[in-house]
Copies of this chain bind each other. A is one copy, B any other.
Amino acid sequence: MQRIKCIIAYDGSQFSGYQIQPNKRTVQGELEKALMKLHKGEMTKVYASGRTDAGVHAKGQVIHFDSALSIPAERWAVALNSLLPDEIAIFEVEQVEPSFHARFDVEAKEYRYFVYTGKLRDPFQRNFAYHYPYPLNLQAMQEASECLIGTHDFTSFCSAKTEVEDRIREIREIEIVETDGRLMFRFVGNGFLYNMVRIMVGTLLQVGSGDISPQEIPAILEKKDRTYAGKTAPPQGLYLWQVYYEKKL
């Protein structure tokens, strides 16, 4: 048995999210279908660093699986890509120690969120950025983002449906930059709760619009109640950008 780690990218717009679900087209479903073909009908379970929701993209999702096939690492990408739909690409494959686990060994993750701020809609960005054509105060957003950096209980910034008990997470970096007509939000943290990035972005956009002042952020965190934070930004702007397994930060 070999444990295989892959870095994959996918365009999430036509998937019902990462995680396998009956009668839905999912990234995990497509990966396991491809592996089943390679393994002559035998099921191979795939483990990812975490799920992504419907419409959310990945530039650097990490998965692992075990295989008895003796394919050299560099051939795995070619074999899998030929069996996968064009919306998923395997771009790095590595044989790892059997103790490696794509989810449990995560040290940190980077998410990016793109907002298209042009006045008129852009058909080419509809699945890849959130169209928010309103004036934004970038400085206020940056001030607010600084209040989110650090170790906090993020209950106010996760879906009310979150079942995880421990909502304390450490956000190490938040960067907000303007790049050719788009706003890029970059988040690095040791872990993210359900909808956490999208709620932080939605809240920061409301700060940028003047609905919420940067000074309110610490109080919103204090409340530990989802209803105090801003809206959940839509999925199409979100990308799981990179997963870190060693403390590189």
Interface residues of A (CB under 8 A from B): 9-11, 57, 77, 81, 86-89, 91, 120-124, 126, 128
Q: How far is the CA of A224 from the CA of B86 in the complex (A)?
A: 37
Nearest chain B CB to A33 CB, angstrom units:
17
Bound-complex Cα distance A174 to B77 (A): 37
> Do residues A120 and B77 form an inter-chain contact, with CB atoms below 8 A?
yes
Partner of A87, one of B87, B89, B91, B123: B123
Q: Which 3 A-B pairs have the closest CB atoms?
A: A11-B123, A86-B126, A91-B120
Chain B residues, CB < 8 A from A10: 123
Contact of A121 among B89, B124, B128 (CB under 8 A): B89
Cα distance A89–B125 in the bound complex, in angstroms: 11
Q: A86 near B121 (CB under 8 angstroms)? A: yes
Could you tell me if A9 and B123 are in contact, using CB atoms closer than 8 angstroms? yes
* Chain B contacts for A87, CB-based, 8 A: 123, 126
User: Which residue from chain B places its CB closest to the CB of A10 in the assembled complex?
Assistant: B123
**Residues in chain B near residue A126, CB distance under 8 A:** 11, 86-87
- A9 in complex: contacting residue of B9, B122, B128, CB < 8 Å: B122
Cβ contact within 8 Å between A128 and B124: yes
| Complex-state Cα separation, A10 to B121, whole angstroms | 11
In the complex, which of the residues B77, B89, B123, B124 contacts A123, with contact meaning CB atoms closer than 8 Å?
Answer: B89
Question: For A81, what are the chain B residues with a Cβ–Cβ distance below 8 Å?
Answer: 120-121
Q: A126: nearest residue on chain B (CB-CB)?
A: B86
Q: How far is the CA of A121 from the CA of B86 in the complex (A)?
A: 8
Q: Looking across the interface, which residue of chain B has its beta carbon closest to that of A118?
A: B91
Contacts of A86 in B (CB 8 A): 121, 123, 126
